[in-house]
Amino acid sequence: MYPPVSSQPNLPALENEVLARWAREHSFQQSIDMRDAGTDGSNEFVFYDGPPFANGLPHYGHLLTGYVKDAIPRYQTMRGRRVERRFGWDCHGLPAEVQAEKELGISGHPEISAFGVDKFNDACRSSVLQFTEEWRDYVTRQARWVDFDNDYKTLDLDYMESVMWAFKTLWDKGLIYEGFRVLAYCWRCETPLSNTETRMDDVYRDRQDPAVTVWFELETGERILAWTTTPWTLPSNLALAVGPDIDYAVLEVDGERWIIAESRLGAYEAQLGEAVQVGSLKGSDLVGRRYSPLFDYFAEMPNAFQVLSADFVSTEDGTGIVHMAPGFGEEDQNACNAAGIDTVCPMDEHGQYTAEISDWVGQHVFDANPLIIRSLKDSGRLVRHDSYMHSYPHCWRCAEPLVYRAISSWFVKVTDVKDRMVELNQQINWVPSHVKDGSFGKWLENARDWSISRNRFWGSPIPVWVSDNPDFPRIDVYGSVAELEADFGIRVADLHRPVIDELVRPNPDDPSGTSMMRRVPEVLDCWFESGSMPFAQVHYPFENAEWFEHHYPGDFIVEYLGQTRGWFYTMHVLATALFDRPAFSNCVSHGIVLGDDGAKMSKSLNNYPDPNQMFEVYGSDAMRWYLLSSPILRGSDFSVTETGMRDTVRQVVLPLWNAYYFLTLYAGAAGTTGSFRTDQEDVLDRYLLGELAELIDAVTESMDAYDLYGACEQVQGFLDTLTNWFIRRSRDRFWEGDQDAIDTLHTALVLFTRVAAPLLPMVAEQVHSGLTGEGSVHHQDWPSSEDLPRDPELAIGMRRVRDACSTLLSLRKSEGLRVRLPLASATLATPDVALVQPHIDILRDEVNVKSVDLTDRVADHGTEELVLLPKALGPRLGGDTQKVIGAHKAGDWSFDDGVVTVGGIDLVEGEFEFRLVSDAEGAAATLPGKGGIVVLDTVVTSELEREGVARDLIRRIQTARREAELDVSDRISLSLEISEVVADAFTAHQTMVESETLAVESSMKIAGGDEVIHVVATERR
């Protein structure tokens, strides 16, 4: 016998039971141990866990990623692979430091230094791991199998040593350099940021800035106009740039001549409306002309104050003439340096002017804007002053507006390996596939050198020691703890600041013995560390060198799409530069989980359901299914709602449970249980087992392609076949205790729960173990469709019948004819008559008609029409699309030798389809896939009406039985007080009513008022 099964499961309680059993039986570890690793790990499926920061609680984005991180390894395990899963923690970097500054109430380098770098880093260390227990709870509750006890942390000595090795290896390959380059810079965090960090979500926000137009006096006497939204950079102006092919106008008013791009004249109507154009110049005519400095701070700079030619100058806004400050713009720096103009950067690490700008020294540059504008106005140089709203980058950690400034920083020469990165990307399977040449491929093509040093405290140190006396230059780069210990003569147990900074030794190249080797102050970008995860998590190359050789690239990673510029990218850079291989073979990149209002999830807006509450109400399997079956796994963004989770319970979890309950109920009533069998002969049994074979093949294909969305769709489709077709059409057989039916449902549920196990791991576990009494479903092998019977003709025939049924039932609905009301006839015209014929009784019964006319004369009821698909046409045909649509409407098309020609243009597959269109009178409709046409006879005779009323009565009696809590097999005594119409129907169909409701005796009288249906059990079977 099956164990007792509740008809109304408490899903969260049921899940907690499963979680407890897994913990008790060490099911996760077992699932690994039972699979052999194979020679050199050949049977291992290698999963890399992208490390989260643990200084905040997990949100839906993490939960979604976690579900994918779990579903794929569960599937691979059932396929026989050994899948180790280690949890990882990202510990270093700005997120930790900004948090620690907040907690300690200090800010900025001087305060941190005064507080003590050691104490500050201690605070970072505890802050960054403060939520690890909560993470473990969430991850466990979401039924994710992952090893927390054997986790890796980027702050571990072993991990940091591998990172150090990576730096040294890149250095030895000539791929690391120190440069004085313009970078995005946070003056609050006092550190430069990388491209990766300035391209993250929310970095660009609207900001209001002043926009000023000023004039410079050319040596030839004209006043040339330049425009800028950063007036604070004007004191550092060293050049102007023009586009060589842009046309510039020379205007004259009041004896002064002005120069501005011709196409920008309209924007300066108010200022130059009275001027007369007296000449025209190409940008190239202006190149090389000198001008007088606006301010005199850098008046002596060699080569400065000339007009340069630059391709990036546009005439979209401004004046078509660009002011250049090489210390504050990357393009400015490149153009100026090429013209022999040095980079000057008169701003300190706090964003304040240095002494070089003597008038405003110590002034924050943003605060200096109004002062500078005033000064320009006073000197008569200000032509125009506007306010300008633009999208401006902000710090991803502290949200202050960034500046661009030249700063000394360490770089990885990504541009040297860029081409190879592009090549190796072609070896990666991306899901969805457009990411490969889309967001990731494009980002690679435009890759620039990676600024990897941060002027901060909490991170892996840049392992470079330099001489403190430039007269005796020397640079030492270290790649291991052993090398450090050899040179500095002490044991090194911690690579963090300030300990690492205390390693100082005399410069061996200095015979005077006075200069010392000191570490450069910077630490590494934390993205360098997370990008090192594949080798650093196993302390490569100091340990596990051989293991790593066989486990790289990893088979599978998953994160959200934005990581194409983050973790995916930094792993790919390091993999290419260090190993000339991709880091991963398959990458799922999903969209962003949004709040229920379609906006970003926000605690203060309270626009998303609390995950813990959802676990408590609907369970984690419902949440898992809900997220995995959403378009977010095909790269779209997705709004998470409580309704969505409730619907999942109703549409997926409960139907599965109800099928299981139904089986145990009827098998129990028959005093039997089901057995695993596939030799049944009943047509519905064979149909269901054939559909199951299809399901197994389809889900296998989807899961192999990492298409969880597709797998969910297939599983749900089969569930519909199982519950809404097989079980419903087989009720009589279950009622009779038919062993074949019971065995079929048993077999289907056993295999179905195996297929659904990665997607509904806990519900599948409960059902599977209840059916089989065996251990975990997750220790089972993935089922094979080869053990199941297949009958393609049966499958097609039954599919047509199901299509015909659902189409006829929707016709009934639209005609307002309830299903219990019998109708005289329906017609099914289909090319597959022979395949449908054997199931015609099912069709008749299902749609409740007295007879079905089956015919292959489809043409008698409808015609095939050509339908255009403009969405597919548009991109290929462009302007011709409308022409084709017009020709089609006018009937100007042909179909010859499989080629469709419309208005003289040949269409390609996918741009059109042939659809069957019904031309029958009355209630008629076509079946999907050119399956045919159905026609419903809608005439209701009084005889049919009476039978319909009798069937309504049966329904009401069944409800009364349920309300009286009778067993399905209880015989009853029935007494009715009913209206005359119902009484008339009852009298006409008394035998049918009695037999269907198990009434052994009945009495009836006409009701004076409300109708009463009374049922009493007479005997129990």
**Catalytic residue numbers?**
51, 90, 527, 563, 567, 600, 603
Supply the DSSP string of 563-606, one letter for each residue.
Answer: GGTTHHHHHHHHHHHHHSS-SEEEEEEE--EE-TTSSBP-TTTT
Residue 398 or residue 683: which is nearer to Zn ion going by CB?
398
Q: Specify the 3-state DSSP secondary structure of 1019.
A: strand
Per CB under 5 A, which of residues 89..118 are in contact with Zn ion? Answer: none
Residue 189 or residue 627: which is nearer to Zn ion going by CB?
189
Residue 144 or residue 188: which is nearer to Zn ion going by CB?
188
Binding characters for Zn ion, 499-538, by CB under 5 A (x = yes): ----------------------------------------
Task: Identify any residues that bridge with 210 across adjacent strands, giving them in sequence order.
Answer: 387
Q: How far is the CB of 97 from Zn ion (least distance, A)?
A: 10
Residue 395 or residue 751: which is nearer to Zn ion going by CB?
395
Q: How far is the CB of 183 from Zn ion (least distance, A)?
A: 13
- The CB-nearest residue to Zn ion is 395
Per CB under 5 A, which of residues 128..187 are in contact with Zn ion? Answer: 186
Supply the DSSP string of 63-76, one letter for each residue.
Answer: HHHHHHHHHHHHHH
Residue 398 or residue 920: which is nearer to Zn ion going by CB?
398
Closest CA to 752 of 739, 735, 738, 771: 771
Closest CA to 175 of 436, 452, 364: 452
CB burial of 661-687 (b: ≥16 within 10 Å; e: otherwise) equals: bbbbbbbeebeebbeeebebeebbbbb
Query: First and final CA of the chain: distance in angstroms?
Result: 19
CB burial of 754-769 (b: ≥16 within 10 Å; e: otherwise) equals: bbbbbbbbbbbbbbbb
Q: Are strands 1012-1019 and 971-978 parallel, antiparallel or unpaired?
A: antiparallel
Q: How far is the CB of 25 from Zn ion (least distance, A)?
A: 48
- Which long-range contacts does 351-360 make (Cβ < 8 Å, 24+ apart)? 351/187, 351/403, 353/235, 356/297, 356/298, 357/235, 357/236, 357/297, 358/297, 360/235
**Total length of the chain:** 1021
Q: How far is the CB of 186 from Zn ion (least distance, A)?
A: 3
Closest CA to 745 of 845, 672, 651: 672
Residue 526 or residue 907: which is nearer to Zn ion going by CB?
526
Cβ proximity of 81 and 588 under 8 Å: no
Closest CA to 855 of 817, 807, 804: 804
d(C-alpha 740, C-alpha 687), whole Å: 13
Query: Could you tell me which stretch among 55-63, 351-359, 390-398, 795-803 binds Zn ion (CB under 5 A)?
Result: 390-398
Residue 395 or residue 654: which is nearer to Zn ion going by CB?
395
- Residue 166 — φ and ψ, nearest 5°? -65, -45
Residue 258 or residue 328: which is nearer to Zn ion going by CB?
328
d(C-alpha 760, C-alpha 651), whole Å: 13
Query: Could you tell me which stretch among 134-142, 173-181, 388-396, 996-1004 binds Zn ion (CB under 5 A)?
Result: 388-396
Q: How far is the CB of 659 from Zn ion (least distance, A)?
A: 56
Count of residues engaged in binding Zn ion, rule: CB under 5 A: 5
CA-based max dimension of the chain: 123
Q: How far is the CB of 185 from Zn ion (least distance, A)?
A: 9
Per CB under 5 A, which of residues 176..205 are in contact with Zn ion? Answer: 186, 188-189
User: What's the gap between Cα 886 and its chain centre?
Assistant: 40
Residue 383 or residue 524: which is nearer to Zn ion going by CB?
524
Q: How far is the CB of 775 from Zn ion (least distance, A)?
A: 52
Cβ proximity of 882 and 890 under 8 Å: no
Q: What is the dihedral of CA 440, 446, 447, 449, to 10 degrees?
A: -170
Cβ proximity of 927 and 934 under 8 Å: yes
Closest CA to 186 of 365, 332, 404: 404
Element (H, E) at 147: strand 147-153
Q: How far is the CB of 55 from Zn ion (least distance, A)?
A: 16
Element (H, E) at 612: helix 611-617
Q: How far is the CB of 707 from Zn ion (least distance, A)?
A: 40
Closest CA to 761 of 621, 553, 648: 621
Q: Among residues 112, 224, 321, 395, which is the contact residue for Zn ion, using CB under 5 A?
A: 395
d(C-alpha 844, C-alpha 95), whole Å: 67
Q: How far is the CB of 50 from Zn ion (least distance, A)?
A: 23
Q: Among residues 398, 866, 905, 992, which is the contact residue for Zn ion, using CB under 5 A?
A: 398
Residue 350 or residue 971: which is nearer to Zn ion going by CB?
350
Per CB under 5 A, which of residues 695..724 are in contact with Zn ion? Answer: none
Residue 454 or residue 961: which is nearer to Zn ion going by CB?
454
Q: How far is the CB of 200 from Zn ion (least distance, A)?
A: 13
Phi-psi label, residue 1001: left if phi above 0, alpha if psi -120 to 50, beta otherwise: beta
Closest CA to 823 of 860, 852, 856, 800: 852
Q: How far is the CB of 900 from Zn ion (least distance, A)?
A: 60
Q: How far is the CB of 570 from Zn ion (least distance, A)?
A: 20
Element (H, E) at 880: helix 880-889
User: What's the gap between Cα 839 and its chain centre?
Assistant: 44
Residue 398 or residue 516: which is nearer to Zn ion going by CB?
398
Closest CA to 431 of 418, 440, 443: 440
Residue 80 or residue 108: which is nearer to Zn ion going by CB?
108
Per CB under 5 A, which of residues 905..924 are in contact with Zn ion? Answer: none
CB burial of 312-347 (b: ≥16 within 10 Å; e: otherwise) equals: ebebeebbbbbbbbbbbbebbbebbeebebbbbbbb
Per CB under 5 A, which of residues 334..353 are in contact with Zn ion? Answer: none
Binding-site ranges for Zn ion (CB under 5 A): 186, 188-189, 395, 398
